[in-house]
Structure 1
Amino acid sequence: MKKWAFFIFSLVQLVLLVGCTEKSFKPIERDQNFVASLNIQEPSLDFIDEQGNGIATWLLDKAYSGAILLGDDRVLLYGHQLNEIDVYTLSTGKKLYSKKVQLGSTNAYYAENRKQFFITNSKTNTVTSFDEEGNELATQKLGNYPMSMAAYKDKLYVINYKDTKLSVLNIENLEVEQEWPIQKSSHGIAILEEKNELWIGGHGEGSKPNNSVKKYDLITGVKHGEIEMPLMPVGLTKTKDAVLVVSHGRNELYVADFDGNVKWQQEVGANPFVVNQFKDYIVVAGYDDHTLYFIKEGQVKKTVDVGKGAFQLLVREEKM
């Protein structure tokens, strides 16, 4: 009887131990370059090397809708319908910490020079700053549905997606310093310090889809002009010598110089939302065909199948 009781007790302890153990994933070596695809239809992270080979797939158990890298060895995951964010260490595959947040997280942005990240929220219409340990620093009320973000020097720029203004904040205390008039449903942002400009894309509204990327003076917010890039240019990424733009309404990739001249364009992917630079490749994620396209010299050199709903691309490269 005593042996049976001891067996039951040990079994219960084992079940409790297993139940309390955090889920962990395959570690990613610290010196491993990768492009990672966050897939949101069946949440997962696919890590791909420069040869197009799979390094690891993290099958996620929450409805994450976004992710960012915090430095070189951490990834932050958030979801619009989740009330907490999770931060994992890549080199161990283990969760570092979780932080309670309010429902409605729309975007996250990491300012490496400040070692801080920022989260926008569509339910509270706020942006909140955190240090790398997840401690809340400041919160600011913004316009309707803040989402796209970028930082430059001591300013944080936030597009209010369902509003007609872009908010310029002091990055230290998040006080609003300026508000620029912009088109409603704007989305996608890139800062070109070489031209003292900020570029934004967008979906457009209803029967009037957006067909261009707008250029604004980085200091005054005065509009400098538009670059025709039909249809619905929403994914913008600046590289050392170009701006990459994907227009998901026409499955088109545009590559423009800093003056706004389109150097070349190419149809690629099915409903792409995001583009990034990885080594010598431009990488486009097809949301509907669950495929990454590796493009070099204007040609698709290889394709890689990933999980369903490729929505964001995270890039880590060894710093030279």
Structure 2
Amino acid sequence: MKKWAFFIFSLVQIVWLAGCSEKSFEPIERERNFIASLNIQEPSLDFIDEQGNVIATWLFEKAYSGALLLGDDHVLLYGHQLDKIDVYTLSTGKKLYSKKVKIGTTNVYYAKNVNQFFITNSKTNTVTSFDEEGNELASQQLGNYPMSMASYKDQLYVVNYKDTKLSVLAIQDLSVKQEWPIEKSSHGIAIVEETNELWIGGHGEGSKPNSSVKRYDLTTGAVQGVIEMPLMPVGLTKTEDNVLVVSHGHNELYVTDFDGNVKWQQEVGANPFVVNQFNDYIVVAGYDDHTLYFIKKGQIQKTVDVGKGAFQLLVREEKL
């Protein structure tokens, strides 16, 4: 009996110690603005302030291939070859929860207006919705290799990367409302509500790389125009005044107005996949040179070294 009691006590200790040994990271103060670079060659997350100082670096043991902010104080991390997503609280640096998912996650998107996130999967060719606590809400079968996502009002738009269609879904239950014809290997998406348009970039396929961004009517899916942006424009971000586009095959940044007119362009970075706005800067991440470029008024103002394979940019800043 004593041996059995000792065994149970030891087992409880092991479980307790395992729980206590869960890795935590340097906390990020709630009121602190940052742009964070997710680096995927040696998985890490670098947090950078308005002055270009690296305020914290989270080094990961898992092969995360993507991240996004859930609200203002949580970050969700995922990987294409991982069977779990992990959500951390920024202000404590501690894991909030993990959620088991099927291997094949290509992207995760957060819709602020409904406080839900959506996971696309290339193995099951599905999109699944969750609340912020990680509870599954709905799932829908899509085309081949769903990946890029955006939402507007009560609809979710999903690009099927290895297919020739875009799926328009009702956010509430993920029922399919429309399917638009698009080019295969489309990637990168932005909604320009000022002109009621959805813009899509892409890699192109085989010996025919894509060299343009297509503009679609947000209601009907009809093509409204084409913007020439060679080569492989895949990173699109809409700001208050512009649409920012990076072409990773040409190491080029394009800044356009909402009608698709290119205001200016600049060669920047080595193999950039992503662009965002932080404070008064346009920030481009160079995947191959592991550098963030802070650009203002068409000029590179400063550069910041980050981890290997800068692939995504997360921005948190107080809106005045």
Would the TM-score normalized by the shorter structure come out above 0.5?
A: yes
Distance 1:14 1:282 in 2: 51
* Residue 316 (structure 1) aligned with residue 290 (structure 2): no
Separation of aligned partners in 2, 1:293 and 1:14:
49
Opposite residue 83 of structure 1, the aligned amino acid is: D
For residue 116 of structure 1, what is the aligned residue in structure 2? 116
Instruction: Quote how far apart the aligned CAs of 1:16 are.
Output: 6.1
List gaps (5 residues or longer) in structure 1: 1-5
Amino acid in structure 1 at the alignment position of 2:245: V
SS at match of 1:194: helix
Matched residue type, 2:117: F
Aligned to 2:234: 234
Query: Following the alignment from structure 1 to structure 2, what is the Cα–Cα distance between the partners of residues 277 and 311?
Result: 15
Which residue in 1 is equivalent to 2:302?
302
Deviations 1:187-246 (A, max 9, x none): 000000100000000000010000000000000000011000000000000000100000
- Deviation of 1:14 after TM superposition, in Å, equals 7.4
CA distance in 2, matches of 1:241, 1:60: 36
Tell me the equivalent position of 2:96. Answer: 96
Distance 1:11 1:156 in 2: 50
Q: How does 1:158-173 map onto structure 2 within 5 Å?
A: 158-173=158-173
- Distance verdict in 2 for CA 1:286–1:12, change over 3 Å: same
Q: Summarize deviations over 1:139-180 as a string: whole Å, max 9, x none.
A: 000000000000000100000000000000011000001000
Paired residue type of 1:285: A
Q: Please give the alpha-carbon distance, in whole angstroms, between the structure 2 residues aligned to 1:251 and 1:316.
A: 26
Alignment of 1:82 onto 2:78? no
Q: Gapped runs of 5+ residues in structure 2?
A: 1-5
- Displacement, 1:22? 1.0
Counterpart of 1:146 in structure 2: which amino acid?
P
Deviations 1:35-90 (A, max 9, x none): 00000000000000010001100001100000000000000000000001000000
- 1:35-74 alignment runs, 5 A limit: 35-74=35-74
Q: Which residue is equivalent to 1:25?
A: 25
Matches of 2:192 and 2:248, distance apart in 1? 23
Q: Which piece of structure 1 moves more, 102-111 or 20-29? A: 20-29
Letter in 1 for 2:120: T
Match of 2:3? none
How far apart are residue 13 of structure 1 and its match? 8.3
Distance 1:86 1:145 in 2: 22
What does residue range 73-222 of structure 1 map to in structure 2 within 5 Å?
73-222=73-222
Q: CA RMSD in A?
A: 1.6
Name the residue aligned to 2:246.
Answer: 246
Q: Distance in 2 between matches of 1:48 and 1:141?
A: 38
1:268 partnered with 2:268: yes
Match of 1:3 in 2: none
Paired amino acid for 1:222: A
Tell me, what secondary structure is at the counterpart of 1:24?
coil
Amino acid at match of 2:265: Q
Deviations 1:235-275 (A, max 9, x none): 00000010000000000000000010000000000000000
Q: What TM-score does the superposition give when structure 2 sets the normalisation length? A: 0.95
- SS of aligned partner of 2:92: coil
Shift of 1:19: 3.6
Residue identity (%): 81
* Paired letter, 1:208: K
